[in-house]
Structure 1
Amino acid sequence: MHLLQSGVDLAVIALWLGHESIQTTNIYITADLASKEKALERLDPVPGRFSRYRPTDRLMAFLATL
């Protein structure tokens, strides 16, 4: 995952690991929460679809007390 975050192409990583197929390398790739967040931020909202839920500060403060 660190190689991907550093910008190394997945095909290059697969070659370094000696994998015959990129699909084999995909098995070992798990995106961390920060990577998922960045990917979602780059997407344009789809018209007619629900937008991403954003909790209010009041709700977050309440949840922090639990």
Structure 2
Amino acid sequence: MHLLQAGVDLTVIALWLGHESPVTTHGYVEADLAMKEQALAAIIPPESKHKRYRPADALIQFLEGL
């Protein structure tokens, strides 16, 4: 995951690990939150405002009270 996050191509990682195919390597890969946010940021049109969801204080209080 660290190699993938550093921008190393999945096919190169597969070769280093001795996998026959990148498909084998892909089975071990899971994107973390930062990688997901980067992917979403790359596809959002520039004119849109990218905001992270922030629940209302009342909702947080309700959830904390559960």
Normalising to structure 2: TM-score of the pair? 0.70
What's the counterpart of residue 10 of structure 1?
A: 10
- The runs of 4+ residues in structure 1 deviating greater than 6 Å are none
Structure 1, unmatched stretches of 5+, are 46-51
Structure 2, unmatched stretches of 5+, are 46-50
Separation in 2, partners of 1:9, 1:40: 19
What's the counterpart of residue 38 of structure 2?
A: 38
RMSD: 2.2
- Aligned-residue identity in percent: 56
Normalising to structure 1: TM-score of the pair? 0.70
3-state DSSP of counterpart to 1:7: coil
